[in-house]
Amino acid sequence: MTVADSHRAVEAVWRIESARVIAALARMTGDLALAEELAQDALVAALEEWPRKGVPDNPGAWLTLTAKHRAIDQFRRRDTYQRKLQEIGRDMELRQETAEAELDDALDDHIGDDLLRLVFTACHPALPAEGRLALTLRLLGGLSTAEIARAFLVPESTVGQRISRAKRTLTDKKIPIELPPPAELPNRLASILEVIYLIFNEGYAATAGDDWIRPSLCEEAMRLGRILAGLMPAEPEVHGLLALMELQASRIPARTARDGSPVLLLDQDRSRWDRLLLRRGLDALRRAEDLGTLGPYGLQAAIAACHARALKPEDTDWERIAALYRLLAHLTPSPIVELNRAVAVGMAYGPARGLELADALREERALRDYPHLPAVRGDLLAKLGRAEEAAAAFRHAAELTRNARERQVFQERAAALST
């Protein structure tokens, strides 16, 4: 094995184990920044030692133990040693061995809880969204600053700053590394789900292009979703989000034409949908349904499932989709959801009914510059045979969009209707 090979092997172990190592150290030290620093030190030690001595049989335990020893060294060296000992010993007078034994216990137990605490801390609402994103990918995804920067198309220094600022905020605001009290859980969980879905969408939005680094964010988000589903199996929205991501990701192979242009859902070659992800998504949705009422993510997954279950576009159960959008609009009222509902209603009950809903949105300020409102209206008007109005709507949509390819599509439809 060459040095490069064994470095890659160490990195693989790091990616599998780092979140747990950091989580255990964070609990032990009560300090996220320090925990990451210690874990990184252990990684450096592994990179030095494993290529010479071989990868140990239990590499995760090796990393944790090494990090723990460094923690003890650090405490000894720093004047915080006594304070830390007291904190760990809960104000008891302690000899060093007792402290180490306690550290051992602290590291051995509750691995799952440790990880969950780490998730909740990295996604704390006190941090700005971008800080939460970067910190989560770094601490739980084991991604390097450079990888995160590449995925989000921002300079590495920016990501570095976001991460260190987030860690500083956690320290300055004395945010404890702990599970939130039950009353706060729904809010805090919402923040975690939001972060994971933001990561997913960052990748998904890019899947119709030729940039394949960003789509790997989808895999990362799904991995985080699966970890969370393992940690909080009783929360329906966790399974709902996972279902939504797996169902959407199942379409990735069909979303792009050979020339790189995006293919809309109803035009996609469904035989290219990823059956494995599709089935996993439906399974996760079923788990969410079994656990109780669907939340916003579960409902969106249920809508995605209607498409997934239809072998041909014309088999789509639009009535069910329209009903699900109605529930979604009730839970999370938004003009975008309402516009989607208009499309579904148009498919289920005819273009006139859909147009009624879409027209009602024309006064909506949030949609004033939203190209898809006139595009949807154009489509419905065309179906109703009102060609002139439809062409005008598509021209309007073409003016509003900033996406060149989309503009071309809208202009073509307008032209076809004007002749």
Partner 1 sequence: MRYLTTLKVEAQPEGPPPADLMEAIFKLGQEATEAGALLHQSGLAPSSEGARIEVSGGRLTVSDGPFAEAKEMISYALYEVKTKEEAVEWASRFVKLHRDLWPGWEGQVDVLRLYSPEDFAPPA
Q: Does residue number 16 form part of the binding site for partner 1 (CB under 8 A)?
A: yes
Query: Which listed residue (24, 151, 189, 227) binds partner 1 by CB under 8 A?
Result: 227
- Dump the DSSP string for 331-346: HS--HHHHHHHHHHHH
Task: Tell me how far, at minimum, the Cβ of 117 lies from partner 1, in Å.
Answer: 16
Task: Tell me how far, at minimum, the Cβ of 186 lies from partner 1, in Å.
Answer: 23
**Spatial CB neighbours of 90, under 8 Å, sequence gap ≥ 6:** none
Angle at 250 between CA 246 and CA 256, to 5 degrees: 135
Residue 367's nearest CA partner among 338, 393, 387 is 338
Task: Tell me how far, at minimum, the Cβ of 357 lies from partner 1, in Å.
Answer: 35
Nearer to partner 1, 183 or 404 (CB): 404
Task: Tell me how far, at minimum, the Cβ of 155 lies from partner 1, in Å.
Answer: 22
Over the range 325-363, which residues count as b (16 or more CB within 10 Å of their CB) and which as e?
A: bebbbeeeeebbbbbbbbbbbbbbeebebbbebbeebee
* x-or-dash string of contact with partner 1, 114-153, rule CB under 8 A: ----------------------------------------
Three-class DSSP category at 259:
coil
Contacts with partner 1 in 48-67 (CB under 8 A)?
Answer: 57
Per CB under 8 A, the segment of 11-19, 148-156, 191-199, 398-406 that binds partner 1 is 11-19
Tell me the CB-side half-sphere exposure of residue 102, using CA atoms within 13 A: 18
* x-or-dash string of contact with partner 1, 229-258, rule CB under 8 A: -xx--------------------xx--x-x
End-to-end, the C-alpha distance of the chain in Å comes to 68
Distance CA 265, CA 275 (A): 16
Task: Tell me how far, at minimum, the Cβ of 79 lies from partner 1, in Å.
Answer: 38
| Positive or negative: CA dihedral 186, 188, 192, 195 | positive
Task: Tell me how far, at minimum, the Cβ of 31 lies from partner 1, in Å.
Answer: 25
Nearer to partner 1, 276 or 352 (CB): 276
Task: Name the token pair of 351.
Answer: 């273009």
Distance CA 60, CA 39 (A): 11
Q: Does residue number 215 form part of the binding site for partner 1 (CB under 8 A)?
A: yes
> Number of residues in contact with partner 1, rule: CB under 8 A?
30
CB atoms within 10 A of CB 312: 7
Task: Tell me how far, at minimum, the Cβ of 154 lies from partner 1, in Å.
Answer: 20
* x-or-dash string of contact with partner 1, 270-309, rule CB under 8 A: ------x---x-----------------------------
Contacts with partner 1 in 185-214 (CB under 8 A)?
Answer: 207, 210, 212
* Residues at the interface with partner 1 (CB under 8 A): 8-9, 11-13, 15-16, 57, 207, 210, 212, 215-216, 219, 222-227, 230-231, 252-253, 256, 258-260, 276, 280
